[in-house]
Amino acid sequence: MQSPGTTAIFGSYVLSEQEGRPVVLRDRWVLTEGRRIAAITESRPDGAGTVLDAPGRFVLPGLLNLHNHCFSEAVARTHTEDGAGRKNNQSIVYTVLLPLTKRGIEILSREERLAIARLGILQLLSGGATTVMEPFRNGIPEMFDAAEEMGIRFYGAPYLFSTADAKAGQDGRVTYAGDDGAADLARWNELHTTWEGRDSGRIRLAMSPHATDTCGPDLLRTLAARARELGVPITTHLAQSRGEVATIRSRYDRTPAEYLDWLGLLAPDLLAAHCVDSTDDDLRLMASRGATVLNCPRVFARAGTTAAFGRFAGHGVRTLIGTDGYNMDLLGEMNAAAMISKIVSGKAETAASGEIIAAVTTGAAAAITRPDLGRICPGATADLTVIDLSHPHLQPLHDPRRALVWLANRGNVDAVMVDGRLLLQGGRYLHGDPAAITEAGVAAIRRIWDLPEARAAFEG
């Protein structure tokens, strides 16, 4: 992409900080120079190459979405709602997501896989995210190509498995096969050599053992040691289904959280997705170890499960919000996290707007040890998300933070900047044709949908 220039953005509201605490400033300009925020001023800066000067904008730190799946959830979309694809009412991870993405990688060309990756990143940016952590099956290195090309801040997290062939039968029972750990780690190391630090650090890797039931003790210990040697975050799926919990109990007489703690993975560098079947004791253990929960409420709500942000946070666990690829509207996901928490707790003050916003800004940046992200202040990295609060459904307006969480959605995303480069303006992606990107991605996904095993997976 082109080198970043100088941009001045006017905000009727700017989410900044004073003495380390969030504060909303009124009628300020945010000036970016190169990859950094240069100043926040009351008067319009002189000499900016690009000026965004529209009323009613809320300028936020770039939003971080630290759990998403561009490829696998695209395969499932509009096929698995209303209980479809759930054999014996079990998780679709082993009936749909893992087997069909594996087949998709086998049948699709590099260009088709790249088309799906581009479509996902377009949706992420349009949903307000500037940073994504993206776990995906080994065999889709095109995720890195698309991220580099389209400008998003990207933590690629290729899966590593002890058993990559886990799949569920008609009764919902999961069988595990294969021994893929050594090959997966070799491939991960190759990708790290190729991609880590590209474009002044915009492209990075995370270590991503798939889940507790698909990764054995030796592999998990090896991966944790390698991640800590390199200083990369570790992310995995944890207690995402009752089946996973039962499997780990039968193998090791532990809960999934206890299993990771036994192996030394339950630590401040661990970002654990979902945790919906964790016990209260598990959550207290995670809090004591400094681990992070990645809460993706809507993907579970579609199956009638309440993944409540407030439950995790209420146990003292650092809790962030991700989209899981199901619906890459990060603003909508924030709303769901707050709404479901209030319903579950019966308390209106649970998961308040400020806490929800911190979960995709300062809290998320802290979880990946990036104090330069998630903040608007001089010297911070120039990642910004700009929301148009002038829409009728956001008016009249008293508190922009409450408006953001309770009333806004992806349709209000006006501009997105990453590393000082404007990627979206007026809600439209600037560096490609959104219609063409969408058409190519959909065509590739439909090739997977046409497979006989896909039609079988989506039944019942």
Complete domains list, the chain, with CATH:
6-62+380-429 (2.30.40.10), 63-368 (3.20.20.140)
Best CA proximity match to 414, nearest among 28, 66, 15, 58:
58
Q: Is the preceding omega at residue 268 within 30 degrees of 0, hence cis?
A: no
Coil/strand/helix, residue 109: coil
Measured between alpha carbons, how far is residue 269 from residues 35, 206, 281, 366 in Å?
26, 10, 20, 10
Q: What is the pTM of this model?
A: 0.95
Side chain identity at 447, as an amino acid letter? R
Q: How far apart are CA 72 and CA 160, in angstroms?
A: 16
Q: Both tokens of residue 72?
A: 């696998």
Beta strands in 313-392 (DSSP E): 318-321, 384-388
Coil/strand/helix, residue 57: strand
Q: Both tokens of residue 218?
A: 């030796």
- Burial of 383: CB neighbours in 10 Å, binned 0-12, 13-18, 19+: buried
Q: Both tokens of residue 291?
A: 């681990």
- What pLDDT was estimated at residue 29? 98
Query: What number of CA atoms fall less than 13 Å from residue 14's CA on the CB side?
Result: 22
Q: How far apart are CA 233 and CA 394, in angstroms?
A: 37
Q: How far apart are CA 41 and CA 8, in angstroms?
A: 10
- What pLDDT was estimated at residue 73? 87
Best CA proximity match to 319, nearest among 269, 346, 349, 355:
355
User: CB neighbours of 189 closer than 8 A, spacing ≥ 6?
Assistant: 226
Q: 207 with 156: CB under 8 angstroms? A: no
Coil/strand/helix, residue 453: helix
Q: How far apart are CA 300 and CA 146, in angstroms?
A: 28
Coil/strand/helix, residue 375: coil
- Burial of 455: CB neighbours in 10 Å, binned 0-12, 13-18, 19+: exposed
Q: How far apart are CA 429 and CA 418, in angstroms?
A: 13
Best CA proximity match to 247, nearest among 376, 91, 445, 366:
91
Coil/strand/helix, residue 384: strand
Where are the alpha helices (H) located in 168-292, listed in sequence order?
181-195, 198-201, 217-230, 242-252, 256-262, 280-289
- What pLDDT was estimated at residue 164? 64
Neighbours of 3 (CB within 10 A): 9
- What pLDDT was estimated at residue 51? 98
Q: 119 with 437: CB under 8 angstroms? A: yes
Give the chain's residues under pLDDT 70.
Answer: 87-90, 164, 166-173, 178, 460
- What pLDDT was estimated at residue 171? 59
Phi, psi of 442 (to 5 degrees): -65, -40
Coil/strand/helix, residue 407: helix
- What pLDDT was estimated at residue 138? 86
Measured between alpha carbons, how far is residue 360 from residues 319, 374, 376, 439 in Å?
10, 8, 14, 30
Give the CA-trace dihedral at 7, 13, 18, 21, to 10 degrees.
-120
Q: How far apart are CA 152 and CA 135, in angstroms?
A: 15
Beta strands in 126-180 (DSSP E): 129-136, 153-160, 167-168, 174-175
Q: How far apart are CA 209 and CA 271, in angstroms?
A: 11
- What pLDDT was estimated at residue 2? 84
